[in-house]
């Protein structure tokens, strides 16, 4: 494994270097979180924090979380959630970031640990150089208070809504979350105590100026939790004519459409508030239930970036919406083991991807493959943008139909 830049070795940090690591994160991200936020970050990393050094000085940081990422077909693939990537401002353009990317991707490949890497980019242009492609988007919504414009759905009034302590209700809510996880590409599990604590983090830094975390649960006739929301209220009493407090929805889930809408009706009509802010998938049912879509004031945000670490394992792990038999020719300068021709054969039941000497049908790079992997962006659209070259007539349409997902990809929480 390559672990060194020219003068800046990359390696896992030691216990004695944790304080320098978190101090560097504060400097790079212009933040000043409390110690408990630092402690949680290190617990989430679980010993997978790495750093670059100039002598004894820590000058770059990185790390990753190993997840089971939901992919098209309701199955999962092992994925490395890359995070905490920084380089000290005094040490730019010395190859430190490239060395960290090399250390991570080489290691994932050599250990056979995860055929896919994902990240949420502060500056997206940086990561395209290393083969990461935009894999999902989301809508940031601002909706005025009032549920009158939200269509009613059958069964939406049959639930009992109860306020609950977020900690005490966590396991019940987690069951609802798990009922949703395999139904949407991009979803991630919350495994272990650290991710439990991350979901419920409620110190001032986590609140971002809003009030404490609140939780509402929808129950069916048997008392089973079928929906929930975690949210905060941002106080604003400056308007003398009316209260102008804002609801900030952190998570909203239902086991079915009726329970999901019941929770949204509650959030959209909380007393003494004027609007609600939420982040939702680009195909969220809420968008089609509003009588006036302009109410939502949607803003598109890029979200998950995907890097295919091992082409054969990654493509064989997901399912395909239509039968596909196509040969990709891939040129991958950063992960050279992916370079060559790969034959993908698959359908809704499974897939096989193997090296081949057969003539190529499509020519593309790792960024394009990463963009198409979760099914939110079509290979046909990439072809129209000149990012995929078709050598066999009809191959692009065939592969595009197979890769697309009926459900838009979306990642449920940051990492």
Catalytic machinery residues: 127, 415
Structure tokens belonging to residue 241: 């004519």
Task: Give 387's DSSP letter.
Answer: S
Taking alpha carbons only, the member of 255, 46, 30 closest to residue 122 is 30
Which residues does 288 contact at the CB level (< 8 Å), separation at least 6?
none
Structure tokens belonging to residue 271: 């007393």
Spatial strand order in the sheet of 340-346? 351-355, 340-346, 324-330, 362-364, 389-390
Q: Where are the alpha helices (DSSP H) in 142-183?
A: 170-181
Taking alpha carbons only, the member of 227, 290, 258, 281 closest to residue 407 is 281
Which residues does 67 contact at the CB level (< 8 Å), separation at least 6?
78, 79, 80, 81, 118, 188, 189, 415
Whole-Å CA distances, 404 to 178, 241, 319, 371? 23, 49, 10, 11
* Residue 136 to residue 239: CA distance in whole angstroms: 38
Strand partners, 355: 342
Residue 97 and residue 85 in contact, taking contact as beta carbons nearer than 8 Å: yes
Whole-Å CA distances, 7 to 11, 55, 105, 334? 13, 8, 20, 20
* Residue 237 to residue 110: CA distance in whole angstroms: 57
Whole-Å CA distances, 320 to 78, 267, 393? 18, 37, 20
């Amino acid at each position: 494994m390559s672990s060194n830049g020219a003068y800046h070795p990359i390696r896992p940090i030691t216990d004695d270097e944790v304080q320098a690591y978190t101090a560097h994160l504060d400097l790079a991200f212009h933040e000043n979180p409390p110690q408990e936020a630092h402690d949680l970050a290190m617990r989430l990393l679980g010993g997978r924090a790495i750093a670059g050094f100039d002598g004894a000085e820590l000058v770059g940081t990185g790390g990753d979380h190993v997840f089971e990422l939901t992919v098209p077909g309701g199955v999962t693939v092992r994925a490395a959630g890359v995070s905490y990537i920084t380089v000290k401002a005094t040490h730019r353009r010395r190859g430190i970031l490239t060395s960290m990317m090399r250390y991570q991707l080489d290691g994932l490949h050599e250990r056979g640990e995860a055929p896919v890497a994902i990240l949420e980019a502060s500056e997206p242009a940086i990561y395209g150089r290393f083969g990461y492609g935009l894999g999902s988007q989301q809508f940031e919504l601002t909706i005025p208070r009032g549920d009158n414009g939200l269509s009613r759905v059958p069964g939406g009034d049959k639930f009992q809504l109860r306020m609950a302590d977020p900690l005490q209700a966590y396991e019940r809510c987690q069951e609802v979350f798990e009922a949703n996880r395999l139904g949407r590409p991009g979803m991630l599990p919350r495994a272990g105590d650290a991710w439990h604590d991350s979901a419920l983090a409620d110190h001032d830094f986590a609140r971002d100026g809003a009030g404490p975390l609140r939780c509402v649960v929808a129950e069916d006739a048997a008392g089973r939790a079928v929906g929930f929301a975690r949210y905060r209220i941002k106080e604003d009493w400056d308007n003398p004519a009316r209260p102008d407090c804002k609801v900030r929805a952190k998570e909203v889930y239902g086991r079915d459409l009726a329970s999901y809408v019941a929770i949204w009706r509650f959030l959209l009509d909380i007393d003494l508030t004027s609007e609600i802010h939420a982040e939702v998938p680009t195909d969220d049912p809420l968008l089609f239930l509003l009588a006036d879509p302009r109410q939502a004031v949607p803003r598109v945000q890029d979200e998950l970036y995907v890097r295919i670490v091992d082409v054969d394992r990654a493509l064989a792990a997901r399912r395909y919406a239509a039968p596909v038999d196509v040969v990709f020719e891939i040129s991958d300068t950063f992960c050279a083991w992916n370079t060559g021709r790969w034959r993908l054969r698959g359908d809704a039941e499974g897939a096989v991807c193997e090296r081949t000497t057969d003539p190529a049908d499509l020519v593309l790079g790792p960024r394009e493959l990463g963009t198409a992997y979760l099914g939110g962006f079509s290979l046909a659209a990439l072809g129209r943008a000149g990012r995929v070259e078709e050598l066999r007539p009809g191959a692009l349409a065939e592969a595009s139909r197979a890769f697309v997902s009926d459900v838009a990809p979306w990642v449920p929480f940051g990492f």
